[in-house]
């Protein structure tokens, strides 16, 4: 994308991290981007052609059920691949094997796709043989594929004990003398300068390869809870860190989401560190959240503050890259703790912020830096300057909506040329399925976000959400096959709108206060999955009797694509108000389907007397 340099890209107040070596220009960036997009569209258009033909062989709900079973198999495969941290070569190898089994035996040119699949496996193996960002770096290279990203560890001259993720320099393991002369030591020195007792216990969120832990051990912290979300990075730290901090019996490592750990913890700590927590990875391709977004909200800071001992401190440090990000963190700390944080270290874009429980409370109205909005659980966007939709997202929305409208017009004109004129009820039904796709994608995104907040942004939690959604689709299909009601009942829409509106009246923070994990899971499931089940029932009852099911399924997928674009509204409205968008879309679905059904009945009533006369 144009505008990215070696550290960052900022567009309309939206900040991204990157590995691009030089500033990129418009001409050099858009062409590869458009080419990649076009190739992806081409690949999936070929898949969709075969899928549409297969759809015609089955009843609509049977075809949909088979499709969902395939999706469930894909999620289960992802769980296994993630658990065993299998490399990309295995992914492509397994896909190639499945392709080989599914390929017709009569294909004379079968060797070509098999060769291409083998080439992809070879390319993946070759890429794992050298550093992704530098092909000359091959020796002493360790490559791991964590559930979140590609992790590389390199220990050569000029790049000592460095960790890269997805080709971006991420961490460097340091010996003790370098740690004591770096920012890692600043809060311990500041504690001494304040003549306060040394820290005895610490919670380190984002412990990574172990530098923060090693510094705490050097400063004689006796009880350390280390939380790291990426098991591959922690494993590399365990094996290769020169000070072996993870081997110390005073250290207790937990592989989990930091926010979820704090929510469960009952301990009190002298020191809590938010340590270099920038994952560079999104929770899901369907949302704008990064893995650490719910760590940097007003409510998360308040949770951490409540875990402090009477004289405890919270420390934030990172290469924040922009002054307004530092301003947002300062503002969050002020609102969550009613105390002024102190900037105890600053080197260019790197900053260390500290706030203590024993610090004096703010008496005057809290002042926040102008031109920024503070992250909260409903709007957890630390790297977005203020509530807005950046212009390039608006362009994407315009392109997608134009694409759908144009496709609709083109197909209609083509049908007229071929003498196949779609009836008005069928046109209304098409648009109903488009809007169902849009609304359902938003519902699914909201479910991922809600569970990420309640139980953490881990790969297994996200997988469980997707499996639950797919299982509910199967249950809805079964229900629609068992209950043979001819007309879609308006009660389903009322149930859907009612359950989807719950977040507007019952904040998720209430569920966060429930101590029992089991009870929280049950209530969160009812809260999150009820609207999804009703939405699936509406789809299944509407889909089961359709004659051109493969076409409507395609339009539904186009709607889902548009729904993914509508998710950008969360950057402006927050996630709770997406429920309003969902309700509006399903209200439109109800009106379209009701009108289509009414016009079909009217047409049938008009044609019936003529048919009776013909028979007579």
- If residue 269 lies in a helix (H) or strand (E), which one and from where to where? strand 269-275
What pLDDT sits at residue 449? 87
The CATH number of whichever domain residue 449 belongs to comes to 1.20.1250
Contact partners, residue 126, CB within 8 Å, separation at least 6: none
- Total domains present in the chain: 4
Phi, psi of 272 (to 5 degrees): -125, 125
How sure is the predictor about 288, in pLDDT bands with cuts at 50, 70 and 90?
low
Is the pLDDT at 142 greater than 70? The verdict is yes
Asked if residue 156 and residue 248 are part of one domain, the reply reads no
Q: Which residue has the higher pLDDT, 411 or 495?
A: 495
Strands 269-275 and 201-205 come out as parallel
What pLDDT sits at residue 11? 61
How sure is the predictor about 453, in pLDDT bands with cuts at 50, 70 and 90?
confident
Domain assignment present for 83: no
Place of tokens 């790969």: 459
Asked if residue 434 and residue 317 are part of one domain, the reply reads no
Asked if residue 423 and residue 348 are part of one domain, the reply reads no
What pLDDT sits at residue 106? 65
pLDDT in tens, 207-246: 999 999 999 999 999 999 999 999 999 999 999 999 999 9
Smallest CA-to-CA distance from 526 within 504, 503, 560 is with 503
How sure is the predictor about 320, in pLDDT bands with cuts at 50, 70 and 90?
confident
Smallest CA-to-CA distance from 188 within 218, 158, 155, 150 is with 218
CA atoms within 13 A on the CB side of 332: 31
Is the pLDDT at 33 greater than 90? The verdict is no
d(CA 179, CA 560): 49
What pLDDT sits at residue 212? 97
The boundaries of the domain holding residue 410 are 391-608
How sure is the predictor about 48, in pLDDT bands with cuts at 50, 70 and 90?
confident
The CATH number of whichever domain residue 284 belongs to comes to 3.40.50.150
Is the pLDDT at 113 greater than 60? The verdict is yes
Is the pLDDT at 1 greater than 60? The verdict is no
Rg (CA), the chain: 27
Asked if residue 144 and residue 12 are part of one domain, the reply reads no
Asked if residue 183 and residue 160 are part of one domain, the reply reads no
d(CA 460, CA 467): 10
What pLDDT sits at residue 39? 87
Asked if residue 403 and residue 265 are part of one domain, the reply reads no
Q: Do 424 and 599 form a contact (C-beta atoms < 8 A)?
A: yes
Asked if residue 223 and residue 286 are part of one domain, the reply reads yes
Q: Which residue has the higher pLDDT, 87 or 456?
A: 87
Range from 36-45, 139-148, 231-240, 443-452 that averages highest in pLDDT: 231-240
What pLDDT sits at residue 615? 43
Asked if residue 505 and residue 444 are part of one domain, the reply reads yes
pLDDT in tens, 544-585: 888 888 888 988 988 998 888 888 889 999 988 888 999 999
Is the pLDDT at 472 greater than 60? The verdict is yes
Asked if residue 327 and residue 258 are part of one domain, the reply reads yes
Is the pLDDT at 318 greater than 80? The verdict is yes
What pLDDT sits at residue 606? 57
Domain assignment present for 466: yes
Is the pLDDT at 608 greater than 50? The verdict is no
Domain assignment present for 63: no
Is the pLDDT at 278 greater than 90? The verdict is no
Q: Do 203 and 272 form a contact (C-beta atoms < 8 A)?
A: yes
What pLDDT sits at residue 279? 58
d(CA 484, CA 375): 48
DSSP state of 196: P
Domain assignment present for 572: yes
Is the pLDDT at 524 greater than 60? The verdict is yes
In the structure encoding, which two tokens stand for residue 308, read together?
A: 């402090």
Domain assignment present for 123: no
Domain assignment present for 74: no
Q: How many CB atoms lie within 10 A of CB 412?
A: 14
Determine the number of helices (DSSP H) and then strands (DSSP E) in the chain: 21, 13
Which parts of 4-82 are beta strand (E)? 8-11, 14-17
How sure is the predictor about 24, in pLDDT bands with cuts at 50, 70 and 90?
very low
pLDDT in tens, 49-102: 888 888 888 999 999 999 999 999 999 999 999 999 999 999 888 888 887 777
Average pLDDT estimate for 326-334: 94
d(CA 346, CA 509): 34
Q: Is 254 helix (H, G, I), strand (E, B) or coil?
A: strand
Q: Please give, one letter per residue, the 3-state secondary structure of 314-378.
A: EEEEEECCCHHHHHHHHHHHHHHHCECCEEEEEECCEEEEEEECCCCECCCCCCCCCCCCCCECC
In the structure encoding, which two tokens stand for residue 256, read together?
A: 């989990």
The DSSP code sequence of 390-411 is -HHHHHHHHHHHHHHHHHHHHH
Q: Do 89 and 128 form a contact (C-beta atoms < 8 A)?
A: yes
Q: Which residues of 324-352 are buried (b: 16+ CB within 10 A; e: fewer)?
A: bbbbbbbbbbbbbbebebbebbeeeeebb
Domain assignment present for 184: yes
The CATH number of whichever domain residue 142 belongs to comes to 2.30.140
Is the pLDDT at 350 greater than 70? The verdict is yes
Asked if residue 401 and residue 549 are part of one domain, the reply reads yes
Q: How many CB atoms lie within 10 A of CB 41?
A: 11
Range from 89-98, 344-353, 405-414, 595-604 that averages highest in pLDDT: 344-353
pLDDT above 90 coverage of the chain, percent = 44
Domain assignment present for 108: no
What pLDDT sits at residue 419? 59
Asked if residue 213 and residue 297 are part of one domain, the reply reads yes
Q: Do 313 and 392 form a contact (C-beta atoms < 8 A)?
A: no
Computed over every residue of the chain, the mean pLDDT equals: 85
What pLDDT sits at residue 613? 44
Q: Please give, one letter per residue, the 3-state secondary structure of 446-493.
A: HHHHHHHHHHCCCHHHHHHHHHHHHHHHHHHHHHHHHCCCCCCCHHHH
Q: Is 291 helix (H, G, I), strand (E, B) or coil?
A: coil
What pLDDT sits at residue 13? 65
Asked if residue 462 and residue 598 are part of one domain, the reply reads yes
What pLDDT sits at residue 16? 63
Q: Which residues lie across from 599 on neighbouring strands?
A: none
What pLDDT sits at residue 426? 85
In the structure encoding, which two tokens stand for residue 587, read together?
A: 């209200």
Average pLDDT estimate for 399-420: 75
């Amino acid at each position: 994308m144009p505008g990215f340099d070696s550290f960052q890209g900022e567009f309309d107040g939206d900040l991204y991290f990157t590995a691009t070596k030089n500033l990129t220009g418009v001409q050099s960036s858009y062409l590869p981007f458009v080419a990649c997009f076009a190739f992806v569209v081409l690949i999936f258009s070929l898949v969709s052609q075969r899928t549409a033909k297969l759809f015609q062989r089955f009843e609509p709900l049977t075809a949909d059920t088979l499709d969902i079973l395939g999706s469930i198999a894909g999620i289960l495969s992802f769980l296994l691949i993630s658990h065993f941290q299998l490399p990309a070569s295995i992914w492509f190898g397994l896909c190639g094997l499945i392709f080989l089994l599914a390929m017709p035996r009569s294909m004379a040119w079968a060797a070509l796709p098999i060769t291409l699949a083998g080439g992809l496996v070879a390319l993946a193996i070759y890429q794992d043989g050298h550093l992704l960002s530098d092909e000359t770096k091959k020796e002493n290279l360790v490559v791991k594929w964590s559930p979140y990203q590609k992790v590389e560890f390199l220990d050569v001259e000029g790049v000592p004990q460095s960790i890269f993720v997805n080709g971006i320099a991420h961490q460097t393991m340091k010996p003790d003398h370098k740690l004591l002369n770096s920012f890692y030591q600043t809060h311990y020195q500041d504690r001494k300068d304040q003549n306060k007792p040394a820290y005895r216990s610490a919670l380190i969120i984002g412990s990574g390869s172990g530098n923060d832990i090693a510094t705490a051990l050097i400063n004689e912290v006796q009880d350390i809870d280390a939380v790291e979300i990426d098991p591959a990075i922690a494993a590399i730290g365990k094996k290769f860190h020169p000070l072996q901090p993870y081997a110390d019996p005073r250290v207790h490592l937990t592989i989990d989401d930091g926010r979820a750990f704090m929510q469960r913890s009952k301990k009190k700590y002298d020191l809590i560190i938010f340590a270099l927590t920038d994952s560079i990875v999104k929770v899901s391709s369907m949302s704008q959240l990064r893995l650490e977004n719910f760590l940097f909200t007003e409510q998360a800071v308040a949770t951490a503050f409540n875990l402090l001992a009477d004289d405890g401190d919270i420390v934030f440090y990172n290469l924040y890259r922009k002054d307004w990000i530092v301003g947002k963190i300062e503002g969050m700390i002020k609102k969550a703790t009613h105390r002024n944080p102190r900037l105890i270290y600053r080197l260019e874009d790197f900053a260390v912020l500290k706030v203590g429980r024993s610090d004096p409370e703010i008496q005057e109205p809290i002042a926040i830096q102008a031109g920024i909005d503070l992250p909260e659980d409903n709007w957890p966007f630390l790297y977005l300057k203020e509530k807005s939709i950046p212009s390039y997202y608006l362009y994407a929305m315009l392109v997608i909506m134009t694409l759908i409208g144009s496709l609709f017009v083109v197909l209609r004109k083509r049908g007229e040329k071929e003498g196949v004129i779609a009836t008005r009820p069928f046109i209304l039904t098409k648009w109903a399925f488009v809007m169902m796709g849009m609304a359902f994608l938003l519902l699914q995104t909201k479910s991922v976000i809600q569970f990420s907040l309640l139980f953490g942004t881990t790969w297994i939690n996200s997988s469980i959400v997707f499996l639950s959604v797919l299982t509910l689709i199967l249950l809805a299909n079964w229900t629609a096959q068992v209950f043979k009601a001819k007309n879609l009942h308006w009660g389903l829409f009322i149930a859907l709108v009612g359950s989807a509106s719950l977040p507007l009246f019952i904040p998720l923070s209430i569920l966060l206060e429930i101590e029992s994990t089991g009870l929280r899971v049950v209530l969160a499931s009812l809260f999150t999955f009820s609207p999804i089940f009703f939405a699936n029932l509406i789809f299944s009852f509407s889909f089961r009797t359709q004659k051109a099911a493969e076409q409507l399924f395609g339009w539904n997928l186009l709607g889902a694509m548009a729904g993914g674009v509508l998710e950008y509204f969360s950057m402006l409205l927050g996630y709770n108000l997406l429920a309003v968008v969902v309700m509006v879309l399903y209200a439109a679905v109800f009106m379209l389907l009701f009108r289509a059904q009414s016009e079909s009945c009217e047409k049938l009533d008009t044609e019936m007397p003529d048919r009776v006369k013909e028979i007579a």
